[in-house]
Amino acid sequence: MTTPEIPGIPGTTLFDGRLARKGYALNRMCYSFNDAANRAAFQQDEAGYCDRFGLDDEQRAAIRARNVLQLIAAGGNVYYLAKFAGIFGLDVQDLGAQQTGMSKDAFKARLAAYAH
């Protein structure tokens, strides 16, 4: 890849061409979750739904684990992943808590602390 090196920002991934290529199938699946019927189809047959979109093993494992950091590493873009999280009623604070290894309350307290 010839994408210019992006100065590293700790704990931060820019969704560039490299990740877009890697994550296309995963993101396409998550984009389909805009539709309630697709969310239901996923819940009825998770593995079959992943088959339909051609996810690779890393992506399938990340989906099974409901693990956001793994999903990002597998090429997932957070805007589409948010729709996957929605299936389980998880909001962005749930995602933040999971990614930072905190309880949701601790994560929310940290957010509030930025006010001061």
Partner 1 sequence: MAQLLGGVLTSHVPAIGRAIHQGLQDDPYWKPFFAGFPPVRQWLAQARPDVVVVFYNDHGLNFFLDKMPTFSVGAAPAYRNADEGWGIPQVPAFTGEQDLSWHLIERLIDDEFDITTCQEMLVDHAFTLPMALLWPDQAWPVKVVPVCINTVQFPLPTAARCWKLGQAVGRAIRAWDSAARVVVLGTGGLSHQLDGERAGFINKDFDLRFMDSLVSDQPDWATQFSIPQLVEQAGTQGIELLMWLATRAALGERVEEVHRNYHIPISNTAAGLMVLQSV
Token reading at 25? 């199938």
Q: How far apart are CA 105 and CA 116, in angstroms?
A: 18
Token reading at 75? 């090429």
The answer to whether 109 touches 103, Cβ cutoff 8 Å, is no
Which one of residues 60, 86, 103, 105 is an interface residue with partner 1 (CB under 8 A)? 86
Q: Collapse the DSSP code of 70 into the 3-class scheme (helix H, G, I; strand E, B; otherwise coil) and give the result.
A: helix
Question: 8 to 27, contacts with partner 1 by CB under 8 A?
Answer: 9-18, 20-21, 24, 27
- Nearer to partner 1 (CB atom), residue 51 or residue 91: 91
Helix (H) or strand (E) holding 28: helix 17-32
88 binds partner 1 (CB under 8 A): no
DSSP 15: -
- Nearer to partner 1 (CB atom), residue 15 or residue 66: 15
- Nearer to partner 1 (CB atom), residue 29 or residue 50: 29
Please tell me the count of residues contacting partner 1 according to CB under 8 A. 54
Token reading at 43? 């819940």
Residue ranges that bind partner 1, judged by CB under 8 A: 1-4, 6-7, 9-18, 20-21, 24, 27-28, 30-31, 33-36, 39, 68-69, 72, 77-84, 86-87, 91-93, 95-96, 99-100, 107, 110-112, 114-115
